[in-house]
Chains A and B, each alone.
Chain A
Amino acid sequence: MDLTAAGKTFPPFEFRVERGKIKEFADAIGDPNPIYRDPDHPGAILAPPTLLRTFLYEPRASAEALKVKDWSYIVHGEQEFEYLAPIHAGDVLTGNERIVSVTEKESRRAGKLHIGVIETVFTNQRGEKVQIARRTLVETSQRISD
Chain B
Amino acid sequence: MPTPSFSSIKVGDAPQPLVCGPLTRTDFVRYAGASHDFNPNHHDEVYAQRNGNKTVFGMGMLAGGYCGRLLTDWFSDSALRRLRIRFASRFWPDDVLTVTARVTAKHDADGLVDCEFTCVNQAGEVIIRGDATAALPR
Residues of chain A within 8 A of B53, CB atoms compared? 145-146
Q: Is the CB of B35 within 8 A of A53?
A: yes
Give chain B interface residues in 36-53, CB to chain A under 8 Å.
Answer: 36-38, 41, 51-53
Q: Is the CB of B61 within 8 A of A79?
A: yes
Q: Is the CB of B33 within 8 A of A82?
A: no
Q: What is the size, in residues, of chain B's interface with A at 8 Å between Cβ atoms?
A: 36
B77 at interface by CB-CB < 8 Å: yes
Q: Label chain A's interface by main secondary structure.
A: mixed
Q: Is the CB of A33 within 8 A of B84?
A: no
Nearest-Cβ distance from residue B117 to partner chain A, whole angstroms: 12
Nearest-neighbor residue (CB-CB) of A74 within chain B: B39
A54 at interface by CB-CB < 8 Å: yes
Q: Is the CB of A43 within 8 A of B77?
A: yes
Give chain A interface residues in 9-46, CB to chain B under 8 Å.
Answer: 21, 24-25, 27-31, 33, 35, 43, 46
Q: Is the CB of A80 within 8 A of B82?
A: yes
Residues of chain A within 8 A of B52, CB atoms compared? 143-146
Q: Which of B41, B69, B72 sits near A30, CB closer than 8 Å?
A: B69
User: If A30-B66, A49-B72 touch, does A83 touch B82 (CB 8 Å cutoff)?
Assistant: yes
A46 to B78, CA, bound (A): 8
Q: In this complex, which of A27, A31, A49, A83 has the most chain B Cβ atoms within 10 angstroms of its Cβ?
A: A49
Q: Which of A31, A48, A76, A86 sits near B87, CB closer than 8 Å?
A: A76
A3 at interface by CB-CB < 8 Å: no
A79 to B31, CA, bound (A): 17
Residues of chain A within 8 A of B87, CB atoms compared? 75-79
A4 at interface by CB-CB < 8 Å: no
Q: Is the CB of A29 within 8 A of B31?
A: yes
Give chain A interface residues in 50-67, CB to chain B under 8 Å.
Answer: 50, 53-55, 57-58
B126 at interface by CB-CB < 8 Å: no
Q: In this complex, which of A30, A35, A48, A75 has the most chain B Cβ atoms within 10 angstroms of its Cβ?
A: A30
Nearest-Cβ distance from residue A94 to partner chain B, whole angstroms: 18
21 contacts between A and B (CB under 8 A): A24-B33, A25-B34, A25-B35, A28-B62, A29-B68, A43-B77, A43-B78, A46-B78, A49-B71, A49-B83, A50-B61, A50-B83, A72-B51, A76-B60, A78-B84, A79-B61, A80-B85, A81-B80, A82-B81, A143-B52, A146-B53
* Chain A residues packing against B (C-beta within 8 Å): 21, 24-25, 27-31, 33, 35, 43, 46, 48-50, 53-55, 57-58, 72, 75-83, 86, 143-146
